[in-house]
Amino acid sequence: MSEGGRGSSLAFGQVVIGPPGSGKTTYCQAMSAFLGRLGRSVAVVNLDPANEALPCPCALDIAELVTLPDVMASLGLGPNGGLIYCMEYLEANADWLRDKLRALRGHYVLFDCPGQVELYTHHQALKNVFAQLAKWNFRLAAVHLVDSHYCTDPGKFISVLCTSLSTMLHVELPHVNVLSKMDLIEQYGRLAFNLDYYTEVLDLSYLVDHLASDPFFRNFRRLNEKLVEVIEDYSLVSFVPLNVQDKQSMRQVMQAVDKANGYSFGDQEHRSLEALMSAAVGADFHFSSTLAVQEKYVQSQDKAVEEEVMDL
């Protein structure tokens, strides 16, 4: 892992980013277990100095270097300012990180990152840390988690698209956007369009038209149209749906990430994957029902329309 050393072996992994509450730590835990069953040696690295209640032990924890409560108490900073200071402190102590990562040589590494959005949209510290990892022969993909409940609110979904695009351009890593908590999406409300409309980010003009039906957003139609134009002009944002409890969903995300960071698995892992998927039957296989959730909405809407017609 020498800096710029050609003879050093490559290391692969993921930097797991996204807003607070999007499920980053849960994803790292689930993906670590999933890859472990395939035969990969996986190590989870916690880079979130505010993450004190870790659900499982980490191979490396930034708390050994700096913690958010200590920074807030000693410097009189708030949570946001303290977190930015922690990331700048990590950047300034990159040698500490490099020395600790040497012990994880040969592992596939999952970096659990903080949830402050500005760290990925315009602040430089964490971006520079990722650049250092690349110099140490890490081949990383950014896995950007977004809570799927944003799909139920067109205004919020446009905001998420803008944030995802800004993050992709700023972080400068191969990028996989993920709609997390798909198993809970039915609890958030009805979707205005089919699920693939949101995952593939299809013609967003329909979303603007849908927003125009709201008296509040009607006043901001031109602004929404311009935001949509920016998103569509770059044509970079799409999403992979994720339910961490479903093996096929985890497999889909894993394959998207492996393609992004260039990881190619051997015959043994391929056989392990086939065995794992063949064992996923019955109640353990929910992914198709997750993707079909919009069909329930459409049916329920049609039924409601029929009842209204009958009443007339």
Q: Could you tell me if residue 272 is inside a domain?
A: no
For the cut 80, the answer to whether the pLDDT of residue 100 exceeds it is yes
Whether pLDDT at 7 is above 70: no
Residue 80, in any domain of the structure? yes
Give the chain's domain count: 1
Task: Name the pLDDT band for 8 (thresholds 50, 70, 90).
Answer: low
pLDDT at 285: 44
Identify the pLDDT of residue 312: 54
Please count the other Cβ atoms lying within 10 Å of the Cβ belonging to residue 125: 17
Is 271 inside a domain boundary? no
Is residue 130 a part of any domain in this protein? yes
Which pLDDT score, from 0 to 100, does residue 154 have?
Answer: 85
Provide the 3-class DSSP secondary structure of residue 53. coil
- Let me know if residue 38 belongs to a domain: yes
Q: Chain-wide mean pLDDT for the chain?
A: 84
- Which CATH number does the domain housing residue 184 bear? 3.40.50.300
Residue 298 in this model has a pLDDT that exceeds 70: no
Specify the pTM: 0.83
In this prediction, residue 97 carries a pLDDT of 96
> Which residue, 254, 162, 251, 252, is CA-closest to 201?
162
Least confident of 66-75, 158-167, 245-254, 284-293: 284-293
Q: Is-contact 257 141, C-beta < 8 A?
A: yes
pLDDT tens column, 38-49: 999 999 999 999
Q: Which domain holds residue 39?
A: 11-201+237-264
pLDDT at 5: 46
Q: Which two tokens stand for residue 174?
A: 């191969």
Q: Is residue 20 part of a domain?
A: yes
**Position 6 pLDDT exceeds 50:** no
* 260 belongs to a structural domain: yes
Map 252-269 to HEC letters.
Answer: HHHHHHHHHHCCCCCHHH
CA distances from 138 to 25, 91, 98, 133, 217 (A): 21, 16, 11, 5, 44
pLDDT at 36: 93
Give the pLDDT of residue 302. 55
Q: What is the mean pLDDT of residues 186-201?
A: 80
